[in-house]
Amino acid sequence: MRRSMLGRLAVAACSLSLLTAFAPAAVAQADGGGHDRSYKKVGYFTQWGVYGRDFQVQDLEANGSAGKLTHINYAFGNVSPQGRCFTGNVPGEADAWADYVRPLDAANSVDGVADTGEQPLAGNFNQLRELKAEHPGLKVLISLGGWSWSTHFSDAALTPASRKAFVESCIDLYIKGNLPQDGARGGAGAAAGVFDGIDLDWEWPGSAGDTDTTYRPEDKQNFTALVKEFRTQLDAYARSQKKKTKYELSAFVPTAPAKIDAGFDVRRIMRDLDFVTLQGYDFHVSGEPRTAQQSALRARGDFSVDGTVDAWLRRGAPANKLVMGMPFYGQGWTGVSGGGDGMGQPATGPAPATWAAGYEDYKALKKLADSGTYTIHRDRRGGHAWLFDGTTLWTYDDPQVLRAKTGYIREHGLGGAMFWSLDADSADGELMTAVDRGLRGR
C-alpha cells in the first residue's frame, strides 16, 4: 500500500508559478484495432489491490472496464540495489505470490476456470493474459518504480554498462517472461506474451522523491540515455522475434516545471517514448495545513492540468503523446475551520479514511456524496469538485469533472487519459465509463 499511497500523496515543494497560455494542436488520429484507438485509455492495476480491496483482474471484466481500456499499467516492478529488475517474495520489496504464484478459483478467473497446481503461470500475470485473450486490442505494460520503488533508479541509469544490464534484466524478466522458479510456477518463458511494453515511473530523476531515493544532477542526461537504451533493446528484441508491432515504451512524468527541467530532456526523450502520462493529481495533498484542490483542470497561480500540459508543450512535447492523468481517489482534510465552502481553509490534519488517512477511493466518496451529509461544491471555471460537511473536506474527480477533462483532451488533441487506479472506481465502473464516453464525444 505504501507504494501506491505515498507515491501519489507526495509532491515536493517547488515554485507555484505556472504559465497558462495554451495553443491547440491537431486532434489525435485513430489507429484501428478492436478498441476505439483514437485516444489512449491507460489504467493502473495495483499488485496489492487483490488483498484488502479484493480487486481482481476479473473485476475489470465484471465492471465493463476491460472493454473500454487500451492499456493496463501493472504497478509496480522493482529495481534492486544492483540495478536489476527482479521479483520474489520479499516483504515490502517484491510479491511474486500476487504476480504469478497465487492460484485463483473459477469465480475469480477471467476465463471462469480455476488454476491448477501444475500450471507454470498463475496469479495476476495469468489473469492479465486471459484478459488480453478476451480483448485482443488491449495492451499491458509493466510499470517500473513508483514513489517507494524508485530508490535505485539513479544507480541503475548511472553508466552505459549499468543501463545496458538494467534494461537487459527488465526485458528478460517481463518481456521474455523468464520468471524465477517458485515450486511449479515460473521458469523460462512462463510469462512470455503477458507484457506488451514497459512504463518508466522514476520519481524523480534529478530531484527529490521518497526519503531513501537517490538522485543526482546527472540524472537528466542519464534518464535520456536510459530511455534510448530501452527503445534500442526493445526494438532489437521485437525484430529478433519477427514481431509485427513494436513493444511500447512510456513514462510517468511530473507537473512541476522545476522537476521537469531537473530531470527531463523533453525533446529527446519524446523521440523514443510512445507517450508520457502526465501527473494530473496530488497538486495539493492532505498533509498540507490548508485545504486545496488536488486535480483542477485550470487554476491561476497554482498547479493545474492545463498548466502541466502547457509546461510540456512549451518544452517540445508533441500534444498527441501527452496522456492526461486523472485521479480515481480523493485527498481529504478534517478539522476544517473558517466557514464557507471549506476550500482554502485551515485544517487540523488528514481526514480519516478506509486505507490511509487523507486518501479515499472514489467508490467511498460516491457514498458520501449520496449520503446527504456532505454538500458537493464545484468550481466550474477551474474544473474541479469537492465534498464538505462543515468539518471534513474531500477534493476529488467525479463524472462531471471527467467530462470537462475529456472535452479538454479532445479540444487540444492530446493523446488520451490515464487513471490511478482502477481498483478505486465504483463497482459498475462509473468513472471509466465517463472517461470512455467523454473521449468518444458522447
Q: Which residues are catalytic?
A: 203
Q: DSSP letter string over 327-390?
A: ESEEEEEES--S-TTSTT-B-SEEPP-SSBTTEEEHHHHHHHHHHSSSEEEEETTTTEEEEE-S
| Calpha distance 271→265 (Å, rounded) | 11
| Calpha distance 392→23 (Å, rounded) | 38
Q: What 3-state class would DSSP assign to 182?
A: strand
| Calpha distance 203→12 (Å, rounded) | 11
| Calpha distance 309→21 (Å, rounded) | 10
On whether the CB atoms of residues 156 and 79 are closer than 8 A, the answer is yes
| Calpha distance 359→322 (Å, rounded) | 26
Longest dimension (CA), the chain: 65
DSSP designation for 26: P
Residue of 161, 248, 144, 164 whose CA lies nearest to 205: 144
One-letter amino acid of 116: T
